[in-house]
C-alpha cells in the first residue's frame, strides 16, 4: 500500500472554526480536527507558541461532513469518467491514468481572492500570497504543532484603505489594488452573503438542501451566466477568473476556464486551430467552453480539469516516475516468481520420482497444490 507522506492543514469552517488536517494513502483518507479554546483571546499577530490548554471537543463536531463536502466526495467518479469517456475518445485516452481528480467545493470569497492572486502567477507564489493574507489579516484558528493557522480575512477587513499599500510591500504587485477594490465592492456595495447568492442551488453551502438549478443550455444554465456576468464587474476579474470562481467557489460545474494551456489542448486535440478560431479571442473563448459543454454536459468544468491535469508536465512527470517504479517492482516480482517456480518445479520432479518409486498417491496432490499456488501473474 502506498504510504501517506504529507498532511494538508486547512482552516475549514463548519459549525466550529477548527483546524482540519487531512492525509490519504492509496486506500484511505484520514483526518484530524484541532478545536481551539474559545476562552482564550486570539492574538493577531499570533502568539509565539500555542496555548498549553487542551483542545475542547464540541458535541456538534461536523468534521466528517465538512471534509466530505470540501473534497466533493459525493459524486461517483467512476460513473462520471465512464460518461465522459463515452462522449469523448480523447478524454478516454488521456484521463484513464489520472483517476481520482476532484474539484473542491471552496468558500466563494476564498476562491475569488485566490484566483485574483493567480493572475500571471505560479502555484508556489499564489500559495505564499494566500498565506500572507491569512497571517496578516485573518483571525487565528489554532496551531498544528508550533505553526499558527489563520482563516481567510473577510471582505470588510481587506476594504481598509491601508491594505493596498501594505499588500504591495508584501509583494502582491498590481494585484494589491485589485484585491482592495474588490473587497470594497463586495463589502460596501453588496448585501452580506451576496457571493453565496450566486451559487448553484444544486451545490449549496454545507448544511443547506440542494434545489433544481434549471435546464442545461449550450452556454450553460441561466444561473451560471448570471453569476459569471456579476463576477466580471469586480476588479481583477476577467472571463477566466470568473469561470474559475464559478466552478470551484460557486459550484457551477459547466464553467470551463480557458487559459493559454487549455487553448493549446483545444488546438491540438479538438481542432480549434483554423479559421475564425485560430487565436484566443472572446469569441474563441466562448466557443471552446461551448464545445466542451456539448461533450461533457453540466460537469464539463470537472472533465476539463482532468484533461488539464493530465497535460501538465509536473503531473505527467510524476506519473512517469510512478509507472517506472511500478515496472521495476513488477520486474522484481517476476524474477522472484521465476526463482520460486524453478524451485518448485525441481521439487516436483523429486516428488514425482518418489511417486514412481511407490510412494503414497497423496504426493501427487502436493504437486498440484504447488502448481496452483505459484501460478505466474500476467504482465500488464
User: For residue 6, what pLDDT is reported?
Assistant: 62
User: For residue 17, what pLDDT is reported?
Assistant: 57
Note whether 306 and 101 are within 8 A (CB): yes
Distance CA 367, CA 347 (A): 9
The residues annotated as belonging to the active site are 240
* Cell numbers linked to 334: 517476476
Tens of pLDDT, residues 92-142: 998 888 888 999 999 999 999 999 999 999 999 999 999 999 999 999 888
User: For residue 331, what pLDDT is reported?
Assistant: 52
Which residues of the chain are modeled with pLDDT < 70?
1-7, 9-18, 35-60, 274-277, 313-380
Distance, C-alpha 63 to centroid of its chain:
18
Q: Provide the whole-model pTM.
A: 0.77
User: For residue 149, what pLDDT is reported?
Assistant: 86
Q: Which residues pair with 23 in a beta bridge?
A: 30
User: For residue 13, what pLDDT is reported?
Assistant: 55
Task: List, as own/partner pairs, every contact residues 198-201 make where C-beta atoms lie below 8 angstroms and the sequence separation is at least 24, other chains included.
Answer: 198/108, 198/223, 198/226, 198/227, 198/230, 198/231, 198/250, 199/108, 199/227, 199/250, 199/251, 200/224, 200/250, 200/251, 200/252, 200/253
b/e map of 285-316 (b: 16 or more CB within 10 Å)?
A: bebbbbbbbebbbbbbbbbbbbbbbbbeeeee
Amino acid at each position: 500500500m502506498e504510504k501517506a507522506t504529507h498532511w494538508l492543514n486547512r482552516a475549514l469552517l463548519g459549525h466550529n472554526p477548527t483546524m482540519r488536517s487531512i492525509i490519504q494513502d492509496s486506500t484511505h483518507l484520514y483526518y484530524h480536527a484541532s478545536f481551539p479554546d474559545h476562552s482564550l483571546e486570539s492574538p493577531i499577530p499570533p502568539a509565539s507558541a500555542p496555548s498549553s490548554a487542551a483542545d475542547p471537543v464540541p458535541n456538534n463536531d461536523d468534521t466528517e461532513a465538512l471534509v466530505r463536502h470540501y473534497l466533493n466526495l459525493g459524486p461517483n467518479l467512476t460513473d462520471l469518467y465512464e460518461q465522459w469517456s463515452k462522449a469523448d475518445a480523447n478524454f478516454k485516452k488521456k484521463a484513464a491514468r489520472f483517476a481520482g481528480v476532484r474539484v473542491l467545493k471552496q468558500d466563494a470569497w476564498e476562491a475569488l481572492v485566490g484566483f485574483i492572486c493567480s493572475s500571471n502567477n505560479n502555484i508556489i507564489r499564489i500559495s505564499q500570497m494566500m498565506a500572507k493574507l491569512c497571517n496578516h489579516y485573518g483571525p487565528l484558528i489554532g496551531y498544528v504543532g508550533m505553526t499558527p493557522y489563520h482563516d481567510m480575512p473577510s471582505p470588510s477587513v481587506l476594504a481598509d484603505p491601508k491594505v493596498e499599500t501594505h499588500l504591495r510591500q508584501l509583494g502582491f504587485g498590481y494585484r494589491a489594488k485589485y484585491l482592495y477594490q474588490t473587497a470594497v465592492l463586495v463589502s460596501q456595495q453588496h448585501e452580506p452573503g451576496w457571493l453565496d447568492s450566486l451559487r448553484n442551488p444544486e451545490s449549496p453551502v454545507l448544511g443547506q438542501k440542494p434545489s433544481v438549478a434549471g435546464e442545461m443550455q449550450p452556454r450553460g444554465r441561466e444561473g451560471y451566466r448570471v453569476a459569471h456576468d456579476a463576477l466580471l464587474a469586480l476588479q481583477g476579474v476577467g472571463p477566466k477568473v470568473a469561470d474559475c470562481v464559478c466552478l470551484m467557489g460557486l459550484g457551477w460545474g459547466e464553467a470551463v476556464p480557458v487559459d493559454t494551456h487549455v487553448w493549446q489542448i483545444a488546438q491540438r486535440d479538438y481542432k480549434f486551430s483554423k479559421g475564425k478560431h485560430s487565436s484566443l479571442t472572446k469569441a474563441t473563448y466562448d466557443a471552446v467552453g461551448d464545445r466542451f459543454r456539448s461533450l461533457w454536459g453540466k460537469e464539463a468544468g470537472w472533465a476539463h480539469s482532468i484533461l488539464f491535469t493530465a497535460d501538465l508536465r509536473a503531473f505527467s512527470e510524476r506519473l512517469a516516475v510512478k509507472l517506472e517504479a511500478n515496472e521495476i517492482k513488477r520486474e522484481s516480482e517476476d524474477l522472484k516468481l521465476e526463482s520460486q517456480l524453478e524451485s518448485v518445479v525441481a521439487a516436483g520432479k523429486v516428488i514425482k520420482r518418489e511417486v514412481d518409486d511407490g510412494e503414497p498417491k497423496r504426493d501427487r496432490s502436493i504437486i498440484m497444490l504447488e502448481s496452483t499456488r505459484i501460478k505466474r501473474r500476467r504482465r500488464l
